[in-house]
Amino acid sequence: MSRIDDAQPFAYEFTPSRTAVVVIDMQRDFLEPGGFGETLGNDVSLLAPAIEGTARLLNAARHAGLLIIHTRECHKPDLSDCPPAKRTRGAPTLRIGDPGPMGRILIAGEPGSDIIPALAAHPGEIVIDKPGKGAFHATGLDALLRSRRITHLLFAGVTTEVCVQTTMREANDRGYECLLVEDATDSYFPAFKQAVLQMVRAQSAIVGWTASSTQIAAALSE
C-alpha cells in the first residue's frame, strides 16, 4: 500500500498493482501551434507546463510498474462518430475534419491526433481513441480497467476543465478512487484549472483528491 499523506483534502492511499495512470489527450492538435486548440483562439503555450509534470508522473509510474493508459480525442475519417453539434459549435478557424497544418483536424491517424513526442506511449502501454470529452463514452475503458482489477486512477492531461474533469467525474460515478495530478494538467484558462482543483477536492473529496507528480513519485518510491 502506498500513501500520499499530504494529498488534498486528506491522505490518499492506493495499491500500485490496482492503480492506473490515465493521461488525457496530450496531443499535437491541442498542444502545438496549428492544431485545433489554436484554431479556437487559444494560446497553446499555456498547456506546456503540464508536459514536465506528466513526464515525471509517467517516469515514476513506469518504474513502479503501474498500468498506463493514454487517450486521444479523435474521430473516424467519415466523421460518423462526430455529432453535428460538436463540429458546428463555436467559431474556430478550422473545424473538426478540416485540413490543417498537421493533417485533418482531430481525425484518427492524422499527425495532429498523435500524442506529443515527449509523452509518447511506450510499448505495452494502452492507447484509447475516444470520440467524446469523457474517456468512458463509447470506449471499452471501464471493461478494460475492471478486467485488470483496477480500483484507483491517477489523472493527467488536458484540458483540466473539459476532457480531464469529464473523465474523472465519469470514473467517480463508476466507483473508482480518483486523484488529479496538479502539475500534470493545464487549461487554456488558468482560472478554470484552479476552479477544477477546488471542485474535485471540495466536500471531503466529493470527486477525488489532488497531489503533485513529485508527491506521487515519492509515494511510489517508498
Check if 86 is active-site: no
Out of 130, 133, 183, 193, pick the active-site residue.
130
- Give the separation between CA 132 and CA 135, rounded to whole angstroms: 7
Query: Does residue 25 carry a catalytic annotation?
Result: yes
Reply yes or no on whether 130 is catalytic: yes
Nearest to 186 by CA among 168, 162, 159, 212: 159
Cβ 147 vs Cβ 177: under 8 Å: no
Catalytic-labelled residue, pool 163, 178, 186, 193: 163
Three-state SS letters, the chain? CEEECCCECCCEEECHHHEEEEEECCEHHHHCCCCHHHHCCCCHHHHCHHHHHHHHHHHHHHHHCCEEEEEEECECCCCCCCCHHHHHCCCCCCCCCCEEECEECCECCCHHHCECHHHCCCCCCEEEEECCCCCCCCCCHHHHHHHCCCCEEEEEEECHHHHHHHHHHHHHHCCCEEEEEEEEEECCCHHHHHHHHHHHHHHHHCCCEEECHHHHHHHHHC
| Residue 70, strand partner residues | 23, 127
Q: Which residues are catalytic?
A: 25, 130, 163
